[in-house]
């Protein structure tokens, strides 16, 4: 169980770090948000699954966290992108 936990944890952290680095190199605001949303959502889900394997969370808590992450992360990014577009932001 510990090996699976470490695999999920390291994979999740790699997603988060690479997504953040790629977002820094993005040329547009929308591109930055795109990379951050995908990498952070997948990375955080993998970290939550790793917490389950380390016996920090129950199955119900893990599912609740995953559902919350899958709903809130894209929603917040959509709100930020919509406000950027509505303000006629230029890059």
- Name which of 72, 73, 70, 77 is nearest 30 in CA terms: 77
pLDDT score recorded for residue 91: 57
Least confident window among 4-8, 25-29, 76-80: 25-29
How many DSSP H helices and E strands does the chain contain? 3, 0
For residue 87, give every residue at least 6 positions away whose Cβ sits within 8 Å of its Cβ, in sequence order, or none: none
- The CA–CA distances, whole Å, from 46 to 3, 6, 20, 63, 78 equal 14, 10, 16, 12, 22
Going by C-alpha positions, the residue among 36, 21, 20, 17 that lies closest to residue 81 is 36
- 19-65, pLDDT tens digit by residue? 999 888 888 888 888 888 999 999 999 999 999 999 999 999 999 99
Sketch the domain layout of the chain as residue ranges.
Answer: 6-86
Provide the whole-model pTM. 0.88
């Amino acid at each position: 169980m510990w090996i699976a936990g470490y695999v999920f944890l390291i994979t999740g952290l790699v997603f988060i770090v690479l997504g953040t680095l790629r977002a820094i190199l993005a040329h547009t605001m929308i591109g930055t948000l795109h990379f951050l949303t995908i990498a952070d959502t997948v990375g955080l889900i993998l970290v939550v699954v790793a917490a389950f394997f380390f016996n920090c969370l129950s199955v119900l808590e893990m599912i609740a966290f995953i559902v919350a992450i899958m709903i809130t992360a894209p929603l917040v990014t959509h709100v930020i992108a919509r406000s950027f577009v509505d303000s006629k932001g230029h890059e």
